[in-house]
Amino acid sequence: MRRSLVLAVSAALVAGTALGFAPATQAADTAGSLRFVDIAGEGGTVLKANVVTPAGADAATRHPLIVLPTSWAMPQVEYLAQAKKLADSGYVVVSYNSRGFWQSGGEIETAGPKDVADASKVIDWALANTPSDPDHVGMAGVSYGAGISLLAAANDPRIKAVAALSGWADLIESIYSGRTQHLQAAALLGGAGYLTGRPGPELQQILGDFLSSDLTKEEDMIAWGRKRSAVEQLDRINANGAAIMLGNAWGDTIFPPNQYASFYEKLTGPKRLEFRPGDHATAEATGLLGLPNDTWTSAHRWFDHYLKGVDNGIDRERPVQLKPRSDAGYEGYPDWKSLDANRRKFDLGGTQRIRANVDSGANGGVVMLSNLLDQFFQAPPVASVPLLPRAFAGVWQSERYDAPQRVRGTVKVHTTVSSTEESGTLVAYLYDVGPLGLGKLVSNAPYTFHDRTPGQPFGVDLDLFSTAYDVPAGHRLALVVDTVDPLYIEHNPTGARLTFSSPATDPSYVSVPLRAE
């Protein structure tokens, strides 16, 4: 049944996405600067690729090289509009279809060792067959291409600069955060893989175990994910010293922003972090069509400085750039941890008991849709907080704020929970509640527990997905906790009940990071 869901969720999205980006092929100049080639990847696997070179380029002049692995399920024409822009400014650009997808050979390895080796093989080919400079090599990509680019930077010291957009640095924290399977994200990725490529046996096994909630395979799944996570190769990335730019959307339902922010703080070389409104890859999408786009503009500036030596000032700007989910402009910060400097708490007092297995009406929305609406129309998922059924949802509210509250960063929840069962799932939601009780979703996150003694209280510390949201004056914040959300797989046995308490020795609270005015 879940595999059917995988295919159903993905079919329309993949078809629409692929067709939506097809016009980019018309943006490339075919008069000598674009050619389609076959490149031998790891083990001789054929990778379908295209090469865009600067006008009038010849073998006597070397140009900086940028390699672009395609996103998950996307055809090799994905980056042609951006490749043309980069070539016009003096770069040789090679984009290739990641193995296992579309016309490239092999099977989908999900950024495994063969994918990482492919990136180096493409660089080898480009240096041998194009007028590219071996001392000035960069990689970039959206989503899957971003993940491969970061892993390649850990394994190939020739890579001097990376722009990793809407990607992951920690695959486990992305789709299994809070020890909870992100159902719709996995369904979309899995279904897209089956529709546009050839998943290898390992991916098929992992996906089946993930969606079936087979806890006996949990260690295997985590080990598989860690092998594909740049954070596990952080020492090598730092030793190689590539300049790393990370870009993501606040509402990314595939690769939520927390794991990127954590990874960013651990980088020791030149680095930049940019977060904007939107969902997975929506912040970069218009740029793939050749339209003006802030994310791609930053990526071009990043490469211009670190591959061409252009003094464009990007290295002197505050490296953390955040665009709130409003009409406000960008805000610069010296680092991510500075967002924690000003926190305000509200208590989760009293005791509340809820029944599991029933959706209260509070939820995180729909993958790829809800946060897209928030990006363009500032219309996040909503719930009438006074009408939420208290039998199935715990609700706590702050006082009404006299001044706007500019939430910036990661909201933290601390509480004490007990269950009538040894396993269970809860989902926490933070709402901006107006005078009439209508709550707009600020953030959410799931949490799953196993092997707990029934009736025995235990502490829960949960980081909600990072965000930048302005709560208007006269509104209040509300924390809502229930046990069912279509975004996630829940682990609540039939008849389970959860109790939330706030012992005097360990009070429960919500800690909200606020921008200091």
Based on the fold, state whether residues 347 and 309 are members of the same structural domain: no
Indicate the DSSP class of residue 465.
P
Among candidate residues 74, 77, 162, 70, the one with its CA nearest the CA of residue 115: 70
Please write the tens of the pLDDT for every residue from 452-505: 999 999 999 999 999 999 999 999 999 999 999 999 999 999 999 999 999 999
pLDDT of 25 reads: 38
Based on the fold, state whether residues 309 and 392 are members of the same structural domain: no
In terms of phi and psi (left: phi > 0; alpha: psi -120 to 50; beta: otherwise), the region of 406 is beta
- CATH number at 52 reads 3.40.50.1820
The better pLDDT of the pair 145, 9 is held by: 145
Based on the fold, state whether residues 38 and 172 are members of the same structural domain: yes
In this structure, of 138-142, 207-211, 508-512, the range with the lowest mean pLDDT score is 207-211
Question: Region 92-98: what's the mean pLDDT?
Answer: 98
Based on the fold, state whether residues 303 and 383 are members of the same structural domain: no
Please write the tens of the pLDDT for every residue from 9-45: 333 333 333 333 333 333 333 344 899 999 999 999 9
Structure confidence at residue 119 as a pLDDT band (50, 70, 90): very high
Based on the fold, state whether residues 309 and 407 are members of the same structural domain: no
pLDDT of 11 reads: 36
Residue 196 CB neighbours (<10 A): 21
Q: What percent of the chain has pLDDT over 70?
A: 94
Based on the fold, state whether residues 449 and 309 are members of the same structural domain: no
Contacting residues for 374 by C-beta, under 8 A, at least 6 apart? 251, 277, 278, 325, 380
Question: Region 97-102: what's the mean pLDDT?
Answer: 97
Based on the fold, state whether residues 82 and 159 are members of the same structural domain: yes
Please write the tens of the pLDDT for every residue from 235-261: 999 999 999 999 999 999 999 999 999
How remote is the C-alpha of 242 from its chain's centroid? 21
Among candidate residues 246, 359, 346, the one with its CA nearest the CA of residue 298: 246
Question: Region 414-438: what's the mean pLDDT?
Answer: 98
> Per the domain annotation, does 177 fall within a domain?
yes
Based on the fold, state whether residues 309 and 371 are members of the same structural domain: no
Please write the tens of the pLDDT for every residue from 354-371: 999 999 999 999 988 888
Contacting residues for 119 by C-beta, under 8 A, at least 6 apart? 67, 69, 139, 148, 149, 151, 152, 156
pLDDT of 26 reads: 36
pLDDT of 56 reads: 81
Based on the fold, state whether residues 304 and 371 are members of the same structural domain: no
Number of domains in the chain: 2
Torsion over CA: 118, 124, 129, 130 (sign):
positive
> Per the domain annotation, does 47 fall within a domain?
yes
Based on the fold, state whether residues 19 and 109 are members of the same structural domain: yes
> Per the domain annotation, does 420 fall within a domain?
yes
pLDDT of 327 reads: 79
Produce one character per residue of 5-36: b if its CB has 16 or more CB atoms within 10 Å, e if not.
bbeebbeebbeebbeebeebbebbeeeebbee
pLDDT of 33 reads: 85
Contacting residues for 128 by C-beta, under 8 A, at least 6 apart? none
> Per the domain annotation, does 274 fall within a domain?
no
pLDDT of 502 reads: 97
Provide the β-strand partners of residue 110: none
Q: Cα(122)–Cα(41) distance, rounded to whole angstroms?
A: 7
Are residues 479 and 496 in contact, defined by beta-carbon separation less than 8 angstroms? no
> Per the domain annotation, does 249 fall within a domain?
no
User: What one-character-per-residue DSSP string does 371-437 give?
Assistant: HHHHHHH----EEEGGGS-TTT-EEEE-PPPSS-EEEEE--EEEEEEEESSS-EEEEEEEEEE-TTS
Q: Cα(65)–Cα(76) distance, rounded to whole angstroms?
A: 18
Based on the fold, state whether residues 305 and 347 are members of the same structural domain: no
The better pLDDT of the pair 60, 515 is held by: 515
pLDDT of 58 reads: 77
Please write the tens of the pLDDT for every residue from 57-88: 777 789 999 999 999 999 999 999 999 999 99
Q: Cα(366)–Cα(183) distance, rounded to whole angstroms?
A: 11
Q: How far is CA 292 from CA 54, 70, 145, 271, in A?
A: 21, 20, 21, 23
- CATH number at 425 reads 2.60.120.260
Residue 435 CB neighbours (<10 A): 10
Q: How far is CA 51 from CA 144, 316, 489, in A?
A: 20, 33, 42
> Per the domain annotation, does 132 fall within a domain?
yes
The mean of the pLDDT values for the chain is 92
pLDDT of 404 reads: 96
> Per the domain annotation, does 329 fall within a domain?
no
Provide the β-strand partners of residue 65: 92, 137
Structure confidence at residue 517 as a pLDDT band (50, 70, 90): confident
pLDDT of 31 reads: 41
Structural domain range at position 46: 2-232+299-315
Please write the tens of the pLDDT for every residue from 268-297: 999 999 999 999 999 999 999 999 999 999
Among candidate residues 369, 5, 27, 328, the one with its CA nearest the CA of residue 187: 5
52 burial via Cβ count (<10 Å: 0-12, 13-18, 19+): buried
In this structure, of 17-26, 105-114, 507-516, the range with the lowest mean pLDDT score is 17-26
> Per the domain annotation, does 214 fall within a domain?
yes
Based on the fold, state whether residues 311 and 426 are members of the same structural domain: no
